[in-house]
Amino acid sequence: MVIRRVGALSCAKVAGLLYLILGFVFGACISLFAMTGLAGSDNPMGFFFGGAAIVALPIFYGVLGFLGTLVMAALFNLVAGITGGVEVDAS
């Protein structure tokens, strides 16, 4: 089987959701780190930064993952059209 074309928008939606989930994981880790004061500072802004990380990082990761995958899938379609595609062994 040879893959010659992928749905760019379909790939971007799936990747955007996966990056959003990854953003929640990283946001929770940064939030926990900042809110517990493990950063070594008694600055009260750590609490705000920790709360903002759990909201901002998933959005940031999701949007950039969506856009990056959309561009890369479109480039894949262009290059696969020139080179003949990617051969996949389905055994």
Listed by start position, the domains of the chain span 2-82
pLDDT in tens, 30-54: 888 877 766 556 666 767 777 888 8
Tokens of 20: 């959003």
Which residues in the chain belong to E strands, given as ranges? Answer: 2-3, 86-87
Q: What is the pLDDT of residues 4-26, one digit of tens each?
A: 999 999 999 999 999 999 999 99
* Residue whose pair of structure tokens reads 């930064």 in the numeric block: 49
Q: How far apart are the first and last CA of the chain?
A: 10
Which SS3 state, helix, strand or coil, does residue 2 take?
strand
* Count of alpha carbons within 13 angstroms of residue 29, beta-carbon side: 6
